[in-house]
Amino acid sequence: MTRTREHGAPARPLAHSRLEDVVAILLGTYVASFGVFLLHSSGAVTGGTAGLALLLGYALHLPFGAVYAVLNLPFLALAARTRGVAFAARTAICIGLIAAWAFLHPVAAPGLSLPPLYGALTGDLLIGIAMLMLFRHNASLGGLNTLALLAQDRFGVSAGRVQLALDATIVLLSLLVVPWPLVLVSAAGAALLNLVLVMNHRPGRYLAA
């Protein structure tokens, strides 16, 4: 979203309002948590900290929300140091909201079971859309998201490409816990998520803060 000066002058960034930030964070975290819920309901995994939390949850029989919150704690200090306190604070809020939403979905739709391919592709697509929404409002899903954005800021490498490399590592690790057909489905979903990021989030493309 930009404001353009008259007579062909360069566009100036048009910052989001506080209300827009609040609405985007609420919607983004809800959509992301619902995507994770679809993945969990199909037995699939994904990349990023969410995928790692799903993987550990399957292996240790722990609730996703609690594992996700604990895994993200070390990354908040990194986020504050490298991208500022405001980004870290918003990311911390996102982490808390996703953990809270994660407890809501199984209560609202208990016993939901989905075909793995549908759950993986739809779940990852929703997570990718949610990540884009949060990135535009100076926030993230935390964890490996923060590393991807840091690489983009420091080295100009697309956050989507960095996220893809990290996600591939996590999906491969899932072979230790998840049957290989589900790993293949999960890999397809993670690839879709990263395609969404690579195509829609590049350094310097968007001027809005």
pLDDT tens-digit profile of 53-101? 999 999 899 999 999 999 988 888 887 887 788 888 998 999 999 999 9
User: 171, exposed or middle or buried, with CB in 10 Å at 0-12, 13-18, 19+?
Assistant: buried
pLDDT in tens, 158-206: 776 787 788 888 888 888 888 999 999 999 998 898 888 778 765 555 5
The yes-or-no verdict on residue 12 having pLDDT over 70 is: no
What lies within 8 Å, CB to CB, of 17 at 6+ separation is: none
CB-CB contact of 93 with 139 (8 Å): yes
pLDDT above 90 for 4: no
Domain boundaries, the chain: 17-200
Q: Using an 8 Å Cβ cutoff, are 46 and 197 in contact?
A: no
The neighbour count for residue 184, using CB atoms within 10 Å, is 15
pTM of the model: 0.81
